[in-house]
Structure 1
Amino acid sequence: MSSSNVSVSSASAIPVQTAIPIVQLQPSVTHKVLMQQLPNIDSSSSPRRSERCCTFNVKEMILASSKGRAVYEDYLAREKTFLTVPERRTIVFVVVEAMVNEIGLYPTTQEKDLLAAAIIQAFPCLGIRDGNNLIHSHYYHAKSGGFIETLLKTMRKKQPECRKRKMSLKQKIHRRIPRGYIEDCGPELEEEEIQMHEFMVRLLKSLIPTASNAEQINDAMESTFPFRQYQMKKNLKTPSLILAEYPRMVDFNNGLLIFDDFMRKYPSANDIEQNFIHTYGDRLIFLAEKEMDALPVCNNDFLRLLLICIFIMPEIKKIRKNSVDEKVQQLVIFVSENRNLQEFVALRSTDQTNSTPHPYLVGVGTMTEPVYFNLVIDGNIIPCGSDSLTAFKNLFASYFVFQLHYPVLIKPLFKFFEERVFRLTPTMTATTADFVARLETIPR
């Protein structure tokens, strides 16, 4: 699956009330192209763009194919309207192939967007619900691609060299930008301003992390936030340096000062309980019961949902060279209650000297019966209490607060939370959209 982004903006949405079942569908989009039908042609032999009048009748496209017709008949026979992932892929292949046979391998942006909208209008269960709208931009979006664009790219690669468009010899420079990267921390501060902020930082360090000092600590963290961003851009380049300068992040309120800074950076971030537990919790369990021989044994409901994500997300499952245990350990590692945590973390840090370190959770107890959690960042141990939700919020936030990269093996899990749960960006990667679309087909 391509890693191209897929927008969830309202401009690509179909109101839910207008999306009607395919049985009754009299499409307002019919497919007319002013040219002869030619197989697998490129845009150089197509009519001029201005001569095209291109709308699509997805039902006709589907019924013209034996594979498409079989999917369509199964779809109609079901009491509840849903399509499996293989069926969705068949539909996309059939309609894109029909479009290519008429238009060529290089349709216009408008044509691809019209096809995406027509697919969702014909099969509303394939849309992603966003309030009262159904999003179709995971099938195509002008800037970020989608399923249609991914399939077109695959088809183009299979063409003889003489049929392909010539690519520019100039190669783009791709720079890996960490989460929460601070592009600009504002203008240079005057010496007087720096001294004022440094005084507040010293005051914050001197405050004992007790409930009686909670208001002062929270106020000081709030007031020093812009200066903290300034320091991170200038000289606090590692998590250890930041935590040494702001030790209350380590020892106060179960590490939630980290999540507070995340919310200051992203004040419009959505609520994790509403957007994950309530929206997808039952659906994840339903999907896991269908795909797994047995569900993970864990008495902690939120942690159990995270483990299910790791076990069933297609982009994580397809990584074959690493075991499931190795993938889970990029999220959480469990140790016995009598284990020396400092010794354990130091030993693990030594083992990771040749790899990029990333934050992770250390659970005390067992996966079945976790007692409490710690967040480990750059060798620093941050107690997070007994609530796995709090621990994960701090873990997720740490990537953005300390400007870090996701761990490779479970990157799709964090991307799902970034793009669909917290909704930090207006786009979803195609892999996230694919997983969301699967969940959305399951009735709540």
Structure 2
Amino acid sequence: MANTSLCKEISKLNCFSLSEYLAEMGVDTTTITSLQSSQIDEKVRRTTVMNPLFIVPLNEKPKTSEKQVTYASNDMHYMKNWLKDHTPSPTNDTQIREFMEKTFNFRRFQIRTILRNATRIIQNYPRFIDFQLGSLITSEFLLIFPNLKQKFHSNFLNDYLLALIAYAKQEDRDFECPNDVLKALMLLLTTHPAIRKNRRISHKKIMERFIVFKKENEDLKNFISDKPSHLKQPFLVCIGTIIEPGAFYLVVDQYSIFCGNDVYNAFRNLYASFYTFFVEYPSFIRPFYEFFDEIIFQLENNEISDTNLEFVQKLSNIEVSSK
């Protein structure tokens, strides 16, 4: 049975015709009709935010000073191929950003129909992994949610850092960490009620789904190629320790993306990667990411869960003292 909802979404696109797109991709037109609606619907059901992940209407695309690009498939493929052939450099960087923005709708269409996993997305758009500390991953997220107003620093660090520290001390879960951002993130992960009540896996494996610490002399490439089975979704690797964190890498499938020494930049890329690469949250720490969906960034199409409402209320009632 054809996926009628998918075909309807495709028919709404004004940027290029479906048959032209499939022909240039070398895909037989029966590919679309062979997609089972149950597969697509299941993916939708398991995705935190539904509509914006797939196709963003052209009229919601951020305005630029450039003339509107003609969304013909030959133009899209020219820019896509240019992006594959040109690595970051002072000469290319401005053009890379421009072409990544102009191919956004085309790329989301591909991700919805053809590029069904992170590896295939990266193979077709390799600048995601080598451009300016992974910044294109976050840029893609901001194009998906162009109306995003909430900020990480103002909404999370300013509002919740001290409350999380006080709550962790009250629950005897505090630990030493001189980096406020890293500490706040790890405290949220270890104190969130929906995660704490899970007794099926160890604290270590819960934490590893967010971040893994490695010594400087350890082979990162070998670790990623042979990583444990529970590390299927994106996660961070920090070269260093909680006390002395060093370089951060975002791991997506078999790729490591250098994010610099700033944990804020690393986490921003990690969070955005689930949307950019159309990946599910790790089930055991899903409430951690949903806290950012619902409370911090207040993403569209998200209702605040009872668990998060109760947790926020509990944090707001904690007496905090300035550091």
TM-score tier, shorter chain, comes to 0.7 to 0.9
Could you tell me whether the CA contact under 8 Å between 1:179 and 1:400 is conserved in 2?
A: no
Q: CA RMSD in A?
A: 2.2
Number of corresponding residues: 264
C-alpha distance in structure 2 between counterparts of 1:339 and 1:186, whole Å: 45
Amino acid at match of 1:248: R
1:374 paired with 2:249, answer yes
Residues 134-186 of structure 1: per-residue CA shift (max 9 Å, x gap): xxxxxxxxxxxxxxxxxxxxxxxxxxxxxxxxxxxxxxx97633245445567
2:162 to 282, 295, 319: 282
Cα 1:271–1:324 shift into 2, 3 Å: same
Amino acid at match of 1:178: T
Give the Å deviation of 1:200.
0.6
Structure 1 residues 341-352: aligned runs within 5 Å: 341-348=220-227, 351-352=228-229
1:432 paired with 2:308, answer yes
Could you tell me whether the CA contact under 8 Å between 1:373 and 1:383 is conserved in 2?
A: yes
2:46 to 174, 177, 190: 177
2:101 to 214, 222, 227: 222
C-alpha distance in structure 2 between counterparts of 1:319 and 1:272, whole Å: 27
Q: TM-score, normalised by structure 1?
A: 0.56
Amino acid at match of 1:329: E
Residues 275-300 of structure 1: per-residue CA shift (max 9 Å, x gap): 1011111111111121115x222222
Amino acid at match of 2:314: R
Q: Percent identity, please.
A: 32
- Please name the residue that 1:259 is paired with: 138
The residue matched to 1:358 in structure 2 has which SS?
Answer: coil
C-alpha distance in structure 1 between counterparts of 2:205 and 2:248, whole Å: 19
Q: TM-score, normalised by structure 2?
A: 0.76
C-alpha distance in structure 1 between counterparts of 2:253 and 2:74, whole Å: 29
Amino acid at match of 1:244: Q
Amino acid at match of 1:340: D
Could you tell me whether the CA contact under 8 Å between 1:296 and 1:307 is conserved in 2?
A: no
Could you tell me whether the CA contact under 8 Å between 2:56 and 2:144 is conserved in 1?
A: no
Cα 1:315–1:265 shift into 2, 3 Å: same
Structure 1 residues 15-94: aligned runs within 5 Å: none
C-alpha distance in structure 1 between counterparts of 2:307 and 2:118, whole Å: 30
Highest CA radius of gyration, 1 or 2? 1
Amino acid at match of 1:428: I
C-alpha distance in structure 1 between counterparts of 2:177 and 2:164, whole Å: 15
C-alpha distance in structure 1 between counterparts of 2:49 and 2:119, whole Å: 17
Gaps of 5+ in 1: 1-172
The residue matched to 1:236 in structure 2 has which SS?
Answer: coil
1:363 to 234, 238, 241: 238
C-alpha distance in structure 1 between counterparts of 2:71 and 2:284, whole Å: 47
Could you tell me whether the CA contact under 8 Å between 2:138 and 2:269 is conserved in 1?
A: yes
Could you tell me whether the CA contact under 8 Å between 2:188 and 2:288 is conserved in 1?
A: yes
Gaps of 5+ in 2: 1-40, 59-69
Could you tell me whether the CA contact under 8 Å between 1:288 and 1:312 is conserved in 2?
A: yes
Give the Å deviation of 1:208.
2.5
